[in-house]
Amino acid sequence: AAKRAGRAAVKVFDERMRARALERMQLQTALHRAIPRGELRVHYQPLVDLASGQVRAVEALVRWAHPDGQLLGPGAFLPAAEEAGLLADLDAWVLAEACRQAAAWGRDLGDAGPAVWVNVSGRLLADSRLVDVVARTLEGSGLAPDRLGLELTEGVLMRDIPTTAEALERLRALGVRLVVDDFGTGYSSLAYLRRFPVDAVKVDRSFVVGLDTDPDNQAIVRAVADLAAALGLEAVVEGLETASELQAVADLDFRIGQGYFLGRPVPPERVLVAITGGVDLRREEIVLP
């Protein structure tokens, strides 16, 4: 009986595995079509100057308007895109779309037009054509290089240090700004902050949770602000969800903040509203995780 039960369990397990594999294949097939069919979207989340309250830049965050009607967030499809070998193409598409959009804002708003910060995966960074892709994208869009920021995580930066350093030097020479994303969560050798020509560090959201009451997070965030100041880097903080978290970073040396409390990611047509003011962006977006 035990043997039979065992066999039945294996069968159920098998079927579940097969169903999951099939689901993943269907997702990958649908993703392959997503770019040519124009199903990808870019939403933009404000990066706010904490002293003036002005929107300094926006972060480009990819979404997928899935044919079944749902708007999916990156957590739902980036792993499948990576598995399908589509991540570099997806990043390049987001980069081009974000640059095109930021250039259009610049034409409408002049100096008040926001810079745009784009996330770069290890796949795209490892692509030897990255610098050319960025240079051509800037040229094609007419966006000034200093209006583009590239967000790289520590994990992405540490994959191949000599190659990364060279690519970053060339991007820096173009005039693009370089930002370390999710700072403090990756491989934490601080030496790379000297080795790589980065302009800003964005403290990870996990250190901001309960910042008003959690003494450990307070100590970490304060130390990052001091480190950034000492190295001449701009300090950015993400994941501000409450007034008291905002208050807690206001006294530290952070120039720029980001988080649901300051503004959620929104479709491009809402960004003008964020900049010209008047509407509460804290309750805008509903995305499936």
For residue 148, the cross-strand partners are 116
Q: Which two tokens stand for residue 179?
A: 């930002």
Q: Check: CB of residue 192 under 8 Å from CB of residue 161.
A: yes
Look at residue 99 and give its three-state secondary structure.
helix
Report the residue from 49, 83, 241, 253 that binds ligand C2E according to the rule CB under 6 A.
241
Residue from 75, 140, 142, 175 touching ligand C2E (CB under 6 A): that is 75
Which lies closer to ligand C2E via its Cβ, residue 109 or residue 267? 267
Site for ligand C2E (CB under 6 A): how many residues?
23
Return the number of the residue (24 or 41) whose C-beta is nearest ligand C2E.
Answer: 41
Q: Which of 31, 55, 61, 220: binder of ligand C2E (CB under 6 A)?
A: 61
CB atoms < 10 A from the CB of 33, how many? Answer: 11
Nearer to ligand C2E, 160 or 241 (CB): 241
Return the closest-CA partner of residue 34 out of 67, 60, 78: 67
Residue 43 to residues 68, 203, 220, Cα–Cα distance (Å): 19, 21, 30
Single out the residue of 121, 141, 164, 217 in contact with ligand C2E (rule: CB under 6 A): 121
The least distance separating Mg ion from the CB of residue 288, rounded to whole angstroms, comes to: 18
Cα–Cα distance list, 54 to 19, 58, 113, 172, 276 (Å): 49, 11, 11, 26, 9
Closest to Mg ion by CB, 181 vs 285, is: 181
Which residue in 41, 197, 260, 267 binds ligand C2E (CB under 6 A)? Answer: 260
CB of 151 to Mg ion, least distance (A): 4
Q: Is 239 in the site for ligand C2E (CB under 6 A)?
A: yes
Residue placing its CB nearer to ligand C2E in the complex, 28 or 111: 28
Of these partners, ligand C2E, Mg ion, none, which one is at the site of residue 74 (CB under 5 to 8 Å by kind)?
A: ligand C2E
Determine the Cα–Cα distance for residues 169 and 218; give it in Å rounded to an integer: 33
C-beta of residue 159 within 8 angstroms of C-beta of residue 187: no
Q: Per residue in 206-233, is it b (16+ CB within 10 Å) or e — as a string?
A: ebbebbeeeeebbebbbebbeebeeeeb
Please report how close the Cβ of residue 163 comes to ligand C2E at its closest, in angstroms: 18
Cβ contact 152:178 at 8 Å: yes
Q: Under the criterion CB under 6 A, does residue 91 sit at the interface with ligand C2E?
A: yes
The site string for ligand C2E over 219-238 (x = CB under 6 A, - otherwise) reads -------------------x
Residue 76 CB neighbours (<10 A):
17
Spell out, one character per residue from 163 to 192, where the chain touches ligand C2E: x when CB under 6 A holds, - when not. ------------------xx----------
Interface residues toward Mg ion, by CB under 5 A: 119, 151, 181-182, 238
Give the one residue of 73, 114, 149, 257 binding ligand C2E; rule: CB under 6 A. Answer: 73
Q: Is 201 a residue that touches ligand C2E (CB under 6 A)? A: no
Q: State the binding partner of 114 from Mg ion, ligand C2E, none, CB within 5 to 8 A by kind.
A: none
Residue 124 φ then ψ, to 5°: -70, -40
